[in-house]
Amino acid sequence: MLHLYSDSSPNGFKATIALEELALPYRLHHVRIDDGEHRLPDFLALNPHGRIPVLTDSETGIALFESAAILLYLAEKTGRLLPSDPRARWEAVKWLQFHASSVGPMLGQRVHFELFAPAPIPAAIDRYRRLTDEAFVVLDHVLADRSYLAGDEYSIADIAHFAWLHIAKIIDFDFSRHRHLSAWHERIADRPAVRRGVALPAPATGA
């Protein structure tokens, strides 16, 4: 049995979307970050960094944190959500890594400085607005001639990017001028498994 420890956040939604897309049986454990449950000893035993999501697989004894690792594990376990063609497969991995190293962290910093910093820091706000918009330009460009990030096939790369773009839209980080990215976002958002995934363990709300 798969066990997912998560909360309503972009990184958590990556895992719930993938599990719903794959129709895998799993048990969802709601780790309420606002209540400090990610700092409790039982959770820190799963991830000493105190971050969600965490996935454990009782069949294999494997326990994973970091959302990109979880996505790769689920894709390898099922043989789905990663293209079989080597070129397309590495396109998916490349764009997954682009998300994990660039897009997700930059959007996270923008959320912090625009919404949660104790006092406004204009230089930081301007920096992360610029960096996230540059990332949107890159994604818009690659999606100009393909339906999904790896090409014609929906993959874990799309799931990773969508989870953060879903939150960006909720909190009014506008990317509507990037028409290819916006069209891609609408295509992904319309998938039934995605609609279920972003509602688990609870829908996200504006900050």
Mean pLDDT of the chain: 97
Note the pTM of the prediction, 2 decimals: 0.97
Q: What tens digit of pLDDT does each residue of 11-57 get? A: 999 999 999 999 999 999 999 999 999 999 999 999 999 999 999 99
> How high is the pLDDT of residue 206?
62
Topology of the domain comprising 2-80+194-198: Glutaredoxin (3.40.30)
CATH class of residue range 86-191: mainly alpha
Chain centroid offset of residue 17 CA = 9
Q: What tens digit of pLDDT does each residue of 127-155 get? A: 999 999 999 999 999 999 999 999 999 99
> Which strands make up the sheet holding 26-30, listed edge to edge?
26-30, 2-6, 54-57, 62-65
Q: What tens digit of pLDDT does each residue of 78-132 get? A: 999 999 999 999 999 999 999 999 999 999 999 999 999 999 999 999 999 999 9
State percent of the chain over pLDDT 90.
Answer: 98
Domain residue extents for the chain: 2-80+194-198, 86-191
Count of C-beta atoms within a 10 Å radius of residue 100:
18
